[in-house]
Structure 1
C-alpha cells in the first residue's frame, strides 16, 4: 500500500516554508513517470541477490577510485589545465602537494596528466600504504620510478607522528617558495588531518595531541575540535593556501565527511576560516580544560588577534584559491544506482548523510524492509516510527516520505525489485572488546530486524560496506544479511546477542557458514565513507527476480 496522504502531509508540515517549488513539483508529479524504462532485465535472473548486492557495492567503489576521479576533473588541453570550469596556464610552473589515505593514487594520475609541466611535489601518505597497494595489485596507484613527487609515509594507526610532521614541514617549505607565476595543485583526501600536523611554535606535537584528545574524550563535536585544532595549527584552516600566496592554488578534494564541508575535510588547509581566541577559549572552558592548558598553548592563544582585529580577506574571494570536491559518497551512490539499474533494480537513494547510532539506524532499515515487503498491511504505525527515527540518524522526513511513496508505488505500478541506497558514517557504542566495525555491526543488527521475513530470492537482502575496504581493524569491508540470519546462527550455536554485547561482529560473521557473508574487496585505495543497500524483491515471479 502506498504511503498515505496523512503521512505525506505530516512530512510537508515539518519542512521549512521556503521549499523550492521545483522540488515540491518533482515529488507531486505521478511517480509512474519516474519509473525506469526496461527495469525488468532477465539476463541476470540467475544471479543471487547477495551477488548482485556485491556487484552494486563494487560499482560504488569503482566510481570513486582516486585515479578515475582525478581523470574526470583534471583536463589538459595543450598548455592549459582545466579544472572546475576554470583554465590555468601551464608553463613548467606546476607544483604538487597532497595528504590523505587516497592521495597516492590521485598524485599518480595527476602526474600522468600534467606531464613535464610538473616541477616537483611532496605528498604525505599513511605508513605502509605503498607496500599495501603493491600487495593488492593496485600498481596504477603507485608513482613511477622517475616521478618528480616525493612520497613521505607517516601517521601510524591514523595518528599524527614525527614522520607526518616532517612531511608537513616539507609541504610548507615547498609552498612558501612559490611565486605569483606558479600553480600549486593540492590533493586532499580523508585522513589528511593526521598527515599534516604542524603545530604553531612553541606548541609541540604531543601537547597539541593531548589537548585535542582530551576534548574528544570530553564529548566535543567535530566542529568544536576543529575550532581548537585550527587555532593551534600553522597549515589548517587555510594556512597552507596562505603559505603558497601569491601562487594560484587549486585543491582537488576526495571527501570522507558527510555533506562535503570543505572546512572540515582534513581541517580545511586551503579553506580560509575565522578562528578567534575567545571562541577557542570558550570551547576549552565548556569542557573544563582551560585551567590545565600547557603554557605553550596559552602563549599562542594570548598573542592571537581578538575578534575584529587583523581580519584579512579570504584568498578564495580574491580568486587565488579554487577548491573542488571531485569524489564523495553522493558520487559513489550515483554509480551504485547505475549498476543496480543494469542488474534489474529500480534504484532509490534514501540519503548520502546517514549518521547516529547503528542500533537506531538498523531499526530504520528494518522498518523500511517491512514497509516495502508487506504491501497489503496497514503502515501508519511503521511510517510514524520511521518519521520519528529519521532525524536521529541524519535522514530528513522529506526524504523518508519520498522513499515510502516510491516503495508503495512500486507495488501499485508493478516496477519489480527496488535497490534502496544510502551512505554516510554511523557510530557504534563500544561496550566490549571484540573485533569488528560499524558496517559489520550494522549488518548484524539489520539481520535481527529482518528476522522472520521471507528468505531470498523472495525476501530482502541488506549490505553495509566501507568504501576503503576495511571496516574497523579487520580485513573485511562489511557484510551482507537477510531474514534467515537468526535461524542460521542459531543452528550453528552462535548467540547473536552475545556477539553484539561484545562488539564482536567480525568474529560472528567469520564463524557463520565459513565467513560467506563477509564483504572482502581488499584495500580499495579510496574512502568516501560507507555504502548501505537494501535489495527489495517483490515476490511475484513475474518480476524476474
Structure 2
C-alpha cells in the first residue's frame, strides 16, 4: 500500500491554489479526520457482512452461515455500539437477542453529537450495558461480562454467536479468575502500564488472570458457531492480543507471565490469590472448538486501513503521501527522535544527509520500523526535492509507550507532540516549518478530552514567551495542561467522540520548500 501511494502524483499546481490558503496545521487535521472516518464501525460491519436471503457470507472469508432465527450477539469495546446497530440492521429479523458492553455515557454522548445512526432502535433485542468509566474495569463492566458469559453458555449447536470486538474491549470484559478480585487485577495492570509495559505484556497478564480472555468466551459458547468481527487496536493485528483474544485460543505459559511480572518488579510480594492462580497456570492445549471450525475471527478495520485513507486525503490536499509503518512502538522519547530526524533529513543540506540517515537506520529497530521502510521513506524525501514533487506527507501509526514519572494530565499522543516540537526546535526552512500531529483514533488521549496535539518548530519559543517550562511539564507527564495553556489551547486536537479505535495516527507534513541545495 505504501508503494502504491508513493507512485501517485499530487494534483496539478492550478488545482492546489485554493488549498494554499490552508495552514499546514489545518491540513494535518484534515488528514487525521480522514483516517478516523475510514474506520467507522457501521461502515466496517456493512462491508464485512453480505446478506443473501436466509444466509450471510462473511466477506473475504469464504464462509457462509445459515440464518434460522438463531443469531445471538455480544460485544465489548468503544466502537461496538455502532457495530451492533449495523449488524442488527442486516440480520435483525433472525436476531434472538444479545448483550454489549460499552463505555460509560456513550449513548448520551452519541445523542449529544447527533450520531443517531450509531444508536440501537427503540425495540432492539440487544441489551446495552455501560461501564469502564475512564477506560478502567469496574463493577458495571464486570456485571456486563457475567451477562455475556451466561448468554454464551446457554447456546447450542444450532445457534450462531456474533461477537463484536473493538479497542477498549479488555476493560469492558473483566472476569477475573477466582480467587483474584477485580481490584487486584486492576491494581496489577495499572502498575504494569505505569511502568511502561507494552500492550503485548499487559495482555499476557490479563489472559492469565481472566476467565473469558484467551479463548475463554469461545469456549463458553461451544458448540455454537462463533463469528467474531474485530476492529483492531493492536500493532500487527494479532488476534490473540486484541481485547486479549476472547475468541482466540491463547496459550498462557506460567513462565511467560512470571517473566513479565518480574520484569516490572511485581513479584516481590504477590497476594495469596495471585500466588494461587500463578501456581495453577500451564500451557493450554489446542481447543476442540477451533479444530472443529466453530470459530471464525475476521479483522474488519485496522490502523493500516486508516493510514491508506489518510494518504488519499493528503494527496487531495497537495501532498505526496508515503506510509512509513502502522507499527511504530517503543518509548515515546525514541519515537519523537525518529520524527525529529526525519524532519531534519528532509530539511538538511546534502552533505549532512548521510549522518542523519545513519542515525535513523540505527534507531529504526528500537521503534518498530524496519530498515527497508526507513530507506524507502528517505528515498521518497530525496526524490520529492530532486524531482520538484512538492510537499510530502509521512504517515505512520502504532502505539508508543510512556513511562510515568509525574502526576499530571495527558496521554502518549500529546506527550509525543510535545517532544517532537522540541526535536524540531531551530528547524526553520525559508518558508514553513514541518508540522507534526499525533492523535488517537478513539478521540481520547489518556484521561483528557483531547485526541492529541499538533506542533511545529515554534513550540519551544512560543512556550518561552508565555513562561511555560516545557521540560517541567514533560517531567510531570502534564502535556494536556501544557497545551491547554499554550496559545489558548489551539494546538490540541479535539475531535470529540470518534466512535472507533485503531490505535494512533502520526502525521509529519514536510513543506515543499523544506529541502535546501
TM over 0.5: yes
Q: Secondary structure at the match of 1:198?
A: coil
Using the alignment, how far apart are the partners of 2:254 and 2:266 within structure 1?
Answer: 14
Greater alpha carbon shift after TM alignment, 446-455 vs 360-369: 446-455
Q: Secondary structure at the match of 1:242?
A: helix
Where structure 2 has 5 or more consecutive residues not aligned to the other structure, the ranges are none
Using the alignment, how far apart are the partners of 1:159 and 1:150 within structure 2?
Answer: 21
Instruction: Work out whether residues 437 and 473 of structure 1, in 8 Å CA contact, stay in contact via their aligned partners in 2.
Output: yes
Using the alignment, how far apart are the partners of 1:290 and 1:359 within structure 2?
Answer: 28
CA deviation vs aligned residue, 1:496-515 (integer Å, no higher than 9, x gap): 23332333222222222222
Structure 2 residue aligned with 1:5: none
Q: Counterparts of 1:485-496 in structure 2 under 5 Å?
A: 485-496=459-470
Structure 1 residue aligned with 2:373: 399
Structure 2 residue aligned with 1:328: 302
Offset at residue 313 of structure 1 (A): 3.9
Instruction: Work out whether residues 39 and 341 of structure 1, in 8 Å CA contact, stay in contact via their aligned partners in 2.
Output: no
Using the alignment, how far apart are the partners of 2:263 and 2:399 within structure 1?
Answer: 26
Using the alignment, how far apart are the partners of 1:508 and 1:278 within structure 2?
Answer: 42
Using the alignment, how far apart are the partners of 1:45 and 1:288 within structure 2?
Answer: 53
Q: Find out whether 1:131 has 2:108 as its counterpart.
A: yes
Offset at residue 52 of structure 1 (A): 1.0
Using the alignment, how far apart are the partners of 2:353 and 2:179 within structure 1?
Answer: 62
Q: Counterparts of 1:9-158 in structure 2 under 5 Å?
A: 34-36=7-9, 38=11, 40=13, 41-42=15-16, 43-83=18-58, 84-85=60-61, 86-158=63-135
Structure 2 residue aligned with 1:3: none
1:293–1:529: structure 2 CA closer, same or farther, 3 Å change rule? same
Instruction: Work out whether residues 196 and 401 of structure 2, in 8 Å CA contact, stay in contact via their aligned partners in 1.
Output: no
Instruction: Work out whether residues 35 and 310 of structure 2, in 8 Å CA contact, stay in contact via their aligned partners in 1.
Output: yes
Using the alignment, how far apart are the partners of 2:176 and 2:456 within structure 1?
Answer: 49
Structure 1 residue aligned with 2:320: 346
Instruction: Work out whether residues 10 and 318 of structure 2, in 8 Å CA contact, stay in contact via their aligned partners in 1.
Output: no
Structure 2 residue aligned with 1:484: 458
Q: Secondary structure at the match of 2:214?
A: coil
Instruction: Work out whether residues 49 and 456 of structure 1, in 8 Å CA contact, stay in contact via their aligned partners in 2.
Output: no
1:523–1:224: structure 2 CA closer, same or farther, 3 Å change rule? closer
Instruction: Work out whether residues 10 and 319 of structure 2, in 8 Å CA contact, stay in contact via their aligned partners in 1.
Output: no
Q: Secondary structure at the match of 2:19?
A: coil
Instruction: Work out whether residues 373 and 538 of structure 1, in 8 Å CA contact, stay in contact via their aligned partners in 2.
Output: no
Q: Find out whether 1:498 has 2:475 as its counterpart.
A: no
Q: Counterparts of 1:188-267 in structure 2 under 5 Å?
A: 188-213=165-190, 222-267=199-244
Using the alignment, how far apart are the partners of 1:444 and 1:228 within structure 2?
Answer: 31
State which structure, 1 or 2, has the greater radius of gyration over its C-alpha atoms.
Answer: 1
1:400–1:540: structure 2 CA closer, same or farther, 3 Å change rule? closer
Q: Secondary structure at the match of 2:47?
A: helix
Using the alignment, how far apart are the partners of 1:314 and 1:345 within structure 2?
Answer: 51
Q: Counterparts of 1:525-536 in structure 2 under 5 Å?
A: 525-536=499-510
Q: Secondary structure at the match of 2:289?
A: coil
TM-score by length of 2: 0.91
Structure 2 residue aligned with 1:160: 137
Offset at residue 228 of structure 1 (A): 4.0
Structure 1 residue aligned with 2:341: 367
Q: Over the residues paired in the alignment, what is the CA RMSD in angstroms?
A: 2.8
Structure 1 residue aligned with 2:358: 384
Using the alignment, how far apart are the partners of 2:263 and 2:155 within structure 1?
Answer: 41
Instruction: Work out whether residues 272 and 314 of structure 1, in 8 Å CA contact, stay in contact via their aligned partners in 2.
Output: no
Using the alignment, how far apart are the partners of 1:415 and 1:32 within structure 2?
Answer: 14
Q: Find out whether 1:411 has 2:388 as its counterpart.
A: no
Structure 2 residue aligned with 1:11: none
Instruction: Work out whether residues 257 and 529 of structure 1, in 8 Å CA contact, stay in contact via their aligned partners in 2.
Output: yes
Q: Secondary structure at the match of 2:230?
A: strand
CA deviation vs aligned residue, 1:327-347 (integer Å, no higher than 9, x gap): 111111011001111111111
Offset at residue 429 of structure 1 (A): 3.1
1:365–1:173: structure 2 CA closer, same or farther, 3 Å change rule? same
Instruction: Work out whether residues 39 and 345 of structure 1, in 8 Å CA contact, stay in contact via their aligned partners in 2.
Output: no
1:328–1:244: structure 2 CA closer, same or farther, 3 Å change rule? same
TM-score by length of 1: 0.86
Offset at residue 218 of structure 1 (A): 7.0
Where structure 1 has 5 or more consecutive residues not aligned to the other structure, the ranges are 1-22
Using the alignment, how far apart are the partners of 1:318 and 1:191 within structure 2?
Answer: 29
Equivalent residues, number: 511
Q: Secondary structure at the match of 1:379?
A: helix
Instruction: Work out whether residues 456 and 482 of structure 1, in 8 Å CA contact, stay in contact via their aligned partners in 2.
Output: no
